[in-house]
Copies of this chain bind each other. A is one copy, B any other.
Amino acid sequence: MPTACVLIIGNEILSGRTQDINLNYIAKRLVDLGIDLMEARVVVDDESAIVRAVNECRAAYNYVFTTGGIGPTHDDITAASVAKAFGVKNVLNPRAVALLQSAYKDPSALNEARLRMAHTPEGASLIDNPVSKAPGFQIGNVFVMAGVPKIMQAMFDGLVDRLVGGPPIRSRTLSAYLAEGDLAKPLAQLQGRYPDVAMGSYPFYRMRRFGASIVLRGRDQARIDAAAAELAAAMRALGGEPIEDEPVADE
């Protein structure tokens, strides 16, 4: 099954200034595309850190999605760093120049700083930016996108045609007001009988009662449903009433 890694480039995430929400968006989309997201990394705005992460991740996974660092200021070093990771030059891309020209009424606005956004690694293809024109790009299995969530989402929506996914990843969640520690043994036994259905247990606290949500994930809906039926029976045997999906935790 195809695998992926998300690489978040941004001092602002690691300093706590910004709460990242791009990973969650990409993660959900990859589920539908049938691509297993295996890892995510957040790295500082530093060339050697980016080069190392890009090269490790593109070797380990089928797809790498980066966010951040493709603007016009000196701290936007993603394109140059990805070029270095691939051992190619970071060059002015004529198509990117044309896109940026279309964004500014005044031609003199396309100054040296903004032309930074028209540089891509040699051999890269562009990723459309319907929000603010300045494009992302793809080189090899690495997809470079903006950090601003609205732009990143639009870029991702425009690149999915280039991805080859597997069967979509399905999941069901059963919740009950049962303690995880009581459910653990039958759950482990169930996992043993269904190695093809990944089972995760997540505690919650709601209305002053503890409970657990069990997430069943896999690619075969019939197997998930069969596991869910057995899980529901196990929950009832412990005195819990299984409910589909999960209550929102109030903490």
Contacts and interface: CB of A to CB of B under 8 A. Distances in A.
Interface in A13-45: 13-21, 23-25, 27-31, 37-45
A196 B151 CA distance: 31
B27 A14 contact: yes
Interface stretch (A85-93, A107-115, A121-129, A159-167): A107-115
A128 to B, nearest CB: 19
Contacts of A201: 71, 73-76
A185 B42 contact: no
B71 A203 contact: yes
A37 B24 contact: no
Contact of A74 (B113, B187, B215, B251): B187
A215 B75 CA distance: 11
A96 to B, nearest CB: 14
A201 B76 CA distance: 9
Contact of A185 (B27, B39, B112, B148): B112
Interface in A62-93: 71-76
Q: Is the interface of A mostly helix, strand, loop or mixed?
A: mixed
Contacts of A251: 148-150
A55 interface: no
25 contacts: A12-B202, A13-B23, A13-B24, A13-B27, A14-B37, A14-B39, A14-B40, A16-B25, A16-B28, A16-B30, A39-B41, A39-B43, A40-B42, A45-B200, A71-B201, A72-B181, A72-B184, A74-B188, A75-B199, A76-B201, A111-B184, A111-B185, A112-B185, A113-B184, A113-B188
Contact of A49 (B27, B38, B72): B38
A11 B181 contact: no
A21 B19 contact: yes
Contact of A11 (B18, B191, B200): B200
B19 A198 contact: no
A46 to B, nearest CB: 9
Task: Give the top 9 A-B pairs by smallest Cβ distance, nearest first.
Answer: A113-B184, A16-B27, A16-B28, A74-B188, A73-B201, A40-B42, A114-B181, A72-B181, A14-B37
Contacts of A43: 38-39
